[in-house]
Amino acid sequence: MSEERLQKLISQARIASRRAAEQMILEGRVTVDGRVAQLGDKADPAVHDIRVDGKRLAARPEYVYILLNKPRGVVSANKREAHEKRRLVRELVPHKGHLFTVGRLDADSEGLVLLTNDGELADRLMHPRYGHTKTYEVLVEGTPTQDALDQWRQGVPLGDEISAPAKVRVMTTTPEGTWLQVILREGRKRQIRRIASQLGYPVKRLIRTKIEMLEIGHLRPGQWRELSPAEVRLLKEKTGT
């Protein structure tokens, strides 16, 4: 493994945030191979003896990044609740160990979900303050008017707040309804379904096709693959991890 800045390693180990880790280093509470560390130092837990307040930092796990096409009817959960009888996302990927589910989809929705044991990257992708884009193809009933589309683009009241501006465009109109492409930078619970119903065009089908630059591609429902090293590198650049 390559060396990383100490504050990043401490944050990844969930000992403290990066900023708090930097303060720990400045206070002389971090050592590398018995030497008091300096801010800016890099190390590799698999090679060096890194300690915080005398406690050794464990070697980093091998990170796993899996892209899954979640089928309709599958629940975005890692553990089964007592009442839940449907299949879980985690059961579709035969990988040992805990994986975070990034980009949860309700059971009636389908499409791209990312599974990873990289907690810092998962946090960056999931937290709304980072504004990472998610792209959906949505089949709605009827044909939305220009006014309805403009309302959706500008923001629609959801409870006590207004949804953030979204990119919405008509892809095609069929006898079943209208296919829209919707790009969001926020992800409230069942947001697209709530907005579409509020505007008078209930969702008949919802497929997430992208999270940032990751695309579902040719994966069929239920299929999955590991991200390539190039995809992982780009994703880390996008998220700053």
pLDDT of 17 above 90:
no
* Across 137-142, average pLDDT: 98
Residue type, 216: I
Question: CB burial class (10 A; 0-12, 13-18, 19+) of residue 88?
Answer: middle
Catalytic residue among 33, 44, 49, 106: 106
CA angle 197, 198, 204 (to 5 degrees): 10
Burial of 104 (0-12, 13-18, 19+ CB in 10 A): middle
Q: How many Å apart are CA 79 and CA 100, to the nearest integer? A: 11
Q: Which three-class secondary structure state does DSSP give residue 13?
A: coil
Better pLDDT: 124 or 149: 149
Express as a percent the part of the chain with pLDDT over 70. 98
65-129+214-239 against 133-211: fold identical: yes
65-129+214-239 under CATH 3.30.70.580, yes or no: yes
Burial of residue 131 (number of CB atoms within 10 Å: 0-12, 13-18, 19+): exposed
Name residue 226's amino acid.
E
Question: What pTM does this model have?
Answer: 0.77
CATH topology of domain 133-211: Alpha-Beta Plaits (3.30.70)
Query: Per residue in 126-135, pLDDT tens?
Result: 777 777 899 9
Q: Where are the chain's structural domains?
A: 4-56, 65-129+214-239, 133-211
Q: Is the pLDDT of residue 1 over 70?
A: no
Average pLDDT over residues 140-164: 94
pLDDT for 97-120, tens place per residue?
888 888 789 999 999 999 998 888
Confidence band of 175 (pLDDT split at 50, 70, 90): very high
Residue 54's pLDDT is what? 94
Residue 171 has pLDDT above 60, yes or no: yes
Task: Record the tokens describing residue 14, joined without a space.
Answer: 């969930």
19 membership: H or E segment, kind and range = helix 18-26
In whole angstroms, what separates CA 70 from the centre of its chain?
14
Q: For the domain 4-56, what is the CATH code?
A: 3.10.290.10
Band the pLDDT of 162: cuts 50, 70, 90: very high
176-199: pLDDT as tens digits: 999 999 999 987 889 999 999 999
* 106 catalytically annotated: yes
Closest of 116, 128, 111, 123 to residue 189, by C-alpha: 128
